[in-house]
Amino acid sequence: QVQLKESGPGLVAPSQSLSITCTVSGFSLTSYDISWIRQPPGKGLEWLGVIWTGGGTNYNSAFMSRLSISKDNSKSQVFLKMNSLQTDDTAIYYCVREGFHWYFDVWGAGTTVTVSS
Amino acid sequence: DVVMTQTPLSLPVSLGDQASISCRSSQSLVHSNGNTYLHWYLQKPGQSPKLLIYKVSNRFSGVPDRFSGSGSGTDFTLKISRVEAEDLGVYFCSQSTHVPTFGGGTKLEIK
């Protein structure tokens, strides 16, 4: 069964950094690209970046200076790290598999991150 | 970035009605390879989005044939021929021809 599951800290203080782990099962990270997408409360979806099967990355220019995505294929894990969080970074963060026609075909349940002191 | 504009914001319908959602992009979504990477997702309350339609008009696995997509260039439409209760939620269009972006969403609700 194809699954993605995010695990994150829940609460982050302003100006601190965020680390989230996405653990996948049912497929290999050497066969599919993985994107991170977030959704602020009651709002729309925002693509953050992608890590490709070969390990290369591409980021939304709005986050390029403070976002890093990496992975460990052997552990089937993808990592998101974002620095200098502010209150408007409060959102549900999803890791998402990218299918063969550049769509997002399998989504994790998401992890809620609240930025607050 | 490519801006995706969806209308309407809210779409009240009666069960069994047809529903239509429009999505416009700020620039052409035709890729240099000839494909148009315009997709539709449905997010039900409390759930993650799920893929409905990919590349304008292709139904994803398991999606009922009452869902159909059409359009080209910068103008796209999602139609639901006979709305059922399980179709209620927020619909998002999205493009991946360029750096991926999403429309603001259309909430399909009971009239």
Distance (Å, whole) CA B5 – CA B7: 7
- Average of pLDDT values for B29-34? 96
Chain segment A23-68, per-residue pLDDT in tens:
999 999 999 999 999 999 989 999 999 999 999 999 999 999 999 9
Q: pLDDT at residue B110 above 90?
A: no
Per-residue pLDDT, B64: 97
Per-residue pLDDT, A109: 98
Residues 54-83 of B with CB under 8 A from A: 54-55, 58, 60
- Average of pLDDT values for B75-90? 96
The more confident residue out of B110 and A107 is A107
Query: Of B54, B92, B99, which has the smallest distance from its Cβ to A45's Cβ?
Result: B92
Mutate which of A37, A45, A96, A107 to disrupt the B interface (most B C-beta within 10 Å)?
A45
Q: Taking all residues of chain B, what is their mean pLDDT, rounded to a whole number?
A: 97
Contact pairs from chain A to chain B, CB under 8 Å: 51
CA atoms within 13 A on the CB side of B95: 28
- Average of pLDDT values for B56-61? 98
Interface touch A44/B104, C-beta < 8 Å: yes
Chain segment A75-104, per-residue pLDDT in tens:
999 999 999 999 999 999 999 999 988 999
Q: Beta strands A33-39 and A57-59: pairing type?
A: unpaired
List Cβ neighbours of B32 (8 Å cut-off, separation of 6 or more).
Answer: none
- Average of pLDDT values for B82-107? 97
Give the length of chain A. 117
Q: pLDDT at residue A7 above 90?
A: yes
Q: pLDDT at residue B111 above 90?
A: no
Q: pLDDT at residue B73 above 90?
A: yes
Interface touch B100/A47, C-beta < 8 Å: yes
Which residue is associated with the tokens 């998002």?
Answer: B92
Q: Do B93 and B2 meet the contact criterion of CB atoms below 8 Å apart?
A: no
pLDDT band at B103 (very low <50, low <70, confident <90, very high): very high
Alpha-carbon Rg for chain A, nearest whole angstrom, is 13
- Average of pLDDT values for B48-56? 98
Interface touch B51/A99, C-beta < 8 Å: yes
- Average of pLDDT values for B35-63? 97
Handedness of CA A81, A107, B48, A110 (dihedral sign): negative
Q: pLDDT at residue B48 above 90?
A: yes
- Average of pLDDT values for B40-69? 97
Chain segment B4-14, per-residue pLDDT in tens:
999 999 999 99
Answer whether B24 touches A (CB < 8 Å).
no
Instruction: Look up residue A110 and give its amino acid.
Output: G
Distance (Å, whole) CA A90 – CA A66: 15
